[in-house]
Amino acid sequence: LTDLYVDNPSPTEKITVFLNISLPKLPCNDCKTLLRQWITIISSDFCSSVVGLDIQDENGRHEVGHIADTEKTDINEGKGCNYAASFIINKVPGNFHVSTHAVQVQPDDINMSHEIHTLRFGDNLQTMEPHIKGSFNSLANHDRTGANGKESHDYIMKIVPTVFERSSSDEIVAYQYVYAHKDIINDHGDYGDNRVEVPDWQA
């Protein structure tokens, strides 16, 4: 016998997050900006990493430019970046975001249009038990590559732990989620009435 149910494991437990996202108009690394900033630099070895991951939560964590268990691959003839990461978050309110905050010198053009291939929390239940259906990877293939280049993109998620208990008494702990998103046009730092919000939750 097997059993699938919603549960809340230990409140101190951490959650593993798996993210794979493509940003076709933002390069993984930037050499030109650094070369303009410091004329004495003549080697591409000094290229600065552009795409990075920031993590913060209400426990006081504030990590800019997380680099462990990350992989970046050039796409779109070097004009874009595929970013894949596996990282741990605390089970408390917080956020993580792909950004350019860790770069030494900000690029001239920051275009965050993107396509999310995978955003998953916890064990990969649908690979281990393909017959199980649910909203475990709700943002898979979410395509915003046609977005305005000046927009930033916020996704607000509600996450529910889901436990699959096998007859052998071992447990698979995955997380289903729904999301809403809002696109913010950042024009010279003035947000004004440029917020476009999508209030309905999607799975």
State residue 17's pLDDT score. 95
Domain-embedded: residue 82: yes
Domain-embedded: residue 41: no
State residue 109's pLDDT score. 84
Domain-embedded: residue 3: no
Nearest to 16 by CA among 118, 152, 147, 134: 118
State residue 195's pLDDT score. 42
Domain-embedded: residue 9: no
Handedness of CA 48, 55, 158, 200 (dihedral sign): negative
Q: What is the mean pLDDT of residues 83-88?
A: 95
State residue 9's pLDDT score. 59
Our measurement of the distance from residue 151's CA atom to the centroid of its chain's CA atoms, rounded to an integer in Å, reads: 16
Domain-embedded: residue 5: no
Nearest to 59 by CA among 83, 91, 85, 29: 91
Domain with 138 in it: 14-30+48-201
Domain-embedded: residue 124: yes
Look at the chain and report how many structural domains it folds into. Answer: 1
State residue 103's pLDDT score. 78
Report the C-alpha gap between 172 and 74 in whole angstroms.
34
Does this model's pTM top 0.85?
A: no
pLDDT tens-digit map of 152-192: 999 999 998 888 887 666 788 899 999 998 888 876 444 33
Domain-embedded: residue 168: yes
Domain-embedded: residue 38: no
